Amino acid sequence: MTEEQKIYYPETIEDNHFPGEEVETFIATQEKSNEMYEPLKTKAQAFPLRKVAHEVIGSALNTKSRKILAEFEFTQSGSLQIGEYENGVSGDIKISPNGIVARNESGITTFALDGTTGDAVFKGTVQTGTLISGIVAVGDNNVVIDGENKNIVVYDESGIARILIGFQAGGF
């Protein structure tokens, strides 16, 4: 058979019915030769509904500016990690019931808050409008500002008090 003699037939495309339209389906089971067949009617089925949280996204999150606009309630969880530490590239923050730890891209802890003891460690500058504290120790405890006893003591390298500002009963 040559190319000119070849016969082409059209493709057969099956009908796809829309939801809401009744569709006739035939079931081909025959027990007796004289039995009559009737098509079964299938009920219309709707397309599944998309579930989109428009309310939360629109009123609580601004995806364009990447800002949280409303308060969220958190459920109890073991811990939370923000970011992924990669040496020389990015740091991370870890939050757990025992505290918060942040480290920079060099792996150095930049701040830590101990949830058990209340201790806090900061690598950088701590700036505040007001600081209320009992005793402030500067450096290796060489300068001690004692608010409770209302004095400032400066110690030398051997730990002997050399300068006292304020009153100390029986002091030098």
- According to the 3-state scheme, what is the secondary structure of 36-96? CCCCEEECCCCCCCCCCCHHHHHHHEECCCCEECCCCCCCCCCCEEECCCECCCECEEEEE
Report the pLDDT value the prediction gives residue 132, as an integer from 0 to 100.
Answer: 83
Closest CA to 143 of 165, 122, 124: 165
Angle at 123 between CA 122 and CA 128, to 5 degrees: 50
Report if residue 106 sits inside a domain.
Answer: yes
How many domains does the structure of the chain reveal?
A: 2
Per the model's pLDDT, the better-predicted residue between 124 and 170 turns out to be 124
Both tokens of 120, joined, read 């806090």
Band of pLDDT at residue 34, cut at 50, 70 and 90: low
CB 93 within 8 A of CB 101: yes
Alpha carbon 145 to its chain's center: 41
Report the pLDDT value the prediction gives residue 140, as an integer from 0 to 100.
Answer: 84
What count of other Cβ atoms lies within 10 Å of the Cβ of residue 154? 13
pLDDT over threshold 60, residue 79: yes
Whether residues 121 and 83 share a domain: the answer is: yes
Whether residues 82 and 110 share a domain: the answer is: yes
Whether residues 122 and 151 share a domain: the answer is: no
Band of pLDDT at residue 55, cut at 50, 70 and 90: low
Report if residue 93 sits inside a domain.
Answer: yes
Per the model's pLDDT, the better-predicted residue between 33 and 6 turns out to be 6
Report if residue 103 sits inside a domain.
Answer: yes
Quote the domain boundaries for residue 145: 135-166
pLDDT over threshold 70, residue 125: yes
Q: Which residues, in sequence order, are bridge partners of residue 90?
A: 86
Report if residue 57 sits inside a domain.
Answer: no
What percentage of the chain exceeds 90 in pLDDT?
Answer: 25
Report the pLDDT value the prediction gives residue 38, as an integer from 0 to 100.
Answer: 67
Statement: the pTM of the whole predicted model exceeds 0.75: no
Report if residue 53 sits inside a domain.
Answer: no
Report if residue 8 sits inside a domain.
Answer: no
pLDDT over threshold 60, residue 28: no
pLDDT over threshold 90, residue 31: no
Mean pLDDT within 74-96: 89
Report if residue 44 sits inside a domain.
Answer: no
Report if residue 26 sits inside a domain.
Answer: no
